[in-house]
């Protein structure tokens, strides 16, 4: 069966990139509960720290990048999302995700991926595991292709595809997305902003109108 059409996908994020390290994690509005992002950050930090202690062939200046964001989806309520990245080698990284349902004040999503980047074709692929509250553990294969409209790559189109399987590698869900992404450098001192607008596609079911927005803060740490 052909893919169904989801709804418009809107994202706005602000970031302080690795070229401007900061010392704390902030983000979102003044009404954001402070304890929720902190809990997600601690959870992800523990997972990535455990992996970073393994005898992996890390480069001497491996960068650790932390992002927290607010995400609002139609009918899904407010989610506080945390993402942490650890460089593993040439054009590859380990990426951990955690998400908290702001209403329930409880984790709703955890994931761990290894991603490989191909700068020559502006694409990357990733493989990993993920767990949604109330569901079983699944494997995740994802791919992303960027189509820049400008020479600096700040405005462009992102094409995304994802395949979920069970632990026996039986396909469970296929999704795709088309996003228009615009990055504004130095929107505020030490902070960049990224805006996204797009559609999500689903394999068997047409999802209702979906809107999400995110505000992200990045902290770059150098490991030695």
The whole-model pTM stands at 0.63
**Range(s) of the domain holding residue 128:** 4-23+34-216
The pLDDT, as a whole number, for residue 213 is: 46
Question: Does residue 222 sit within a domain?
Answer: no
Does residue 9 contact residue 209 with C-beta atoms inside 8 Å? no
How many structural domains compose the chain?
1
Q: What local confidence, expressed as pLDDT, does residue 170 receive? A: 92
What's the pLDDT tens digit per position in 95-119? 999 988 887 777 888 999 999 999 9
In a domain, 84, yes or no: yes
Q: How confident is the model at residue 17 (pLDDT cuts 50, 70, 90)?
A: very low
Comparing 41 with 69, the larger pLDDT belongs to 69
Check residue 92 and give its pLDDT: 93
Return the exposure string of 76-115: e unless at least 16 CB atoms fall within 10 Å of the residue's CB, then b.
eebbbbbbbbbbbeeeebbbbbbbbbbeeeebbbbbbbeb
How confident is the model at residue 197, as a pLDDT? 75
* Rounded-to-integer distance, Cα 222 and Cα 224, Å: 7
pLDDT band at 60 (very low <50, low <70, confident <90, very high): very low
The string over 19-38, giving b where at least 16 C-beta atoms fall within 10 Å of a residue's C-beta and e elsewhere, is: eeeeeebebbeeebeeebbe
Predicted confidence at residue 44, as pLDDT, reads: 55
In a domain, 224, yes or no: no
Answer whether residue 223 is part of any domain. Answer: no
Residue range 44-57: mean pLDDT, rounded:
51
The neighbour count for residue 16, using CB atoms within 10 Å, is 21
Classify residue 116: in a domain, yes or no.
Answer: yes
Q: Is residue 12 part of a domain?
A: yes
Domain-located, residue 221: no
Average of per-residue pLDDT values in the chain: 70
Given a cut of 60, whether residue 215 has pLDDT beyond it is no
Q: Is the pLDDT of residue 195 over 50?
A: yes
Q: How does residue 135 score in pLDDT terms, banded at 50, 70 and 90?
A: confident
Instruction: Say which residue, 113 or 216, is predicted with more confidence.
Output: 113
- pLDDT category at 138 given cuts 50, 70, 90 is very high
HEC string for the chain: CCCEEEEEEEEEEEECCCCCCCCCCCCCCCCCCCHHHHHHHHHHHHHHHHHHCCCCCCCCCCEEEEEEEEEEECCCEEEEEEEEEEEEECCEEEEEEEEEECCCCEEEEEEEEEEEEEHHHCEEEEEEEEEECCCCCEEEEEEEEEEECCCCCCEEEEEEEEEEECCCCCEEEEEEEEEEEEEEEEEECCEEEEEEEEEEEECCCCCCCCCCCCCCEEEEEECC
Q: Assess if residue 43 is contained within a domain.
A: yes
Q: What pLDDT sits at residue 47?
A: 55
């Amino acid at each position: 069966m052909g893919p169904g059409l989801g709804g418009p996908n809107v994202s706005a994020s602000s970031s302080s990139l690795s070229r401007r390290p900061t010392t704390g994690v902030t983000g979102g509005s003044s009404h954001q509960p402070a304890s929720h992002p902190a809990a997600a950050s601690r959870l992800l930090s523990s997972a990535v720290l455990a992996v970073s202690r393994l005898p992996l062939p890390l480069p001497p200046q491996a960068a650790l990048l932390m992002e927290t964001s607010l995400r609002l989806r139609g009918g899904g309520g407010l989610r506080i999302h945390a993402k942490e990245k650890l460089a593993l080698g040439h054009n590859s990284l380990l990426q951990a995700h955690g998400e908290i349902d702001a209403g329930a004040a409880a984790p709703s999503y955890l994931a761990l991926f290894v991603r490989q980047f191909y700068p020559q074709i502006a694409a990357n692929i990733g493989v990993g595991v993920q767990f949604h509250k109330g569901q079983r553990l699944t494997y995740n294969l994802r791919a992303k292709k960027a189509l820049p409209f400008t020479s600096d790559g700040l405005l462009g189109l992102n094409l995304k595809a994802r395949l979920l399987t069970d632990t026996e590698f039986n396909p469970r869900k296929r999704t795709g997305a088309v996003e228009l992404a615009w990055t504004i450098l130095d929107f505020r001192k030490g902070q960049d902003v990224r805006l996204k607008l797009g559609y999500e596609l689903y394999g068997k079911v047409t999802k209702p109108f979906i809107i999400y927005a995110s505000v992200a803060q990045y902290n770059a740490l150098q490991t030695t």
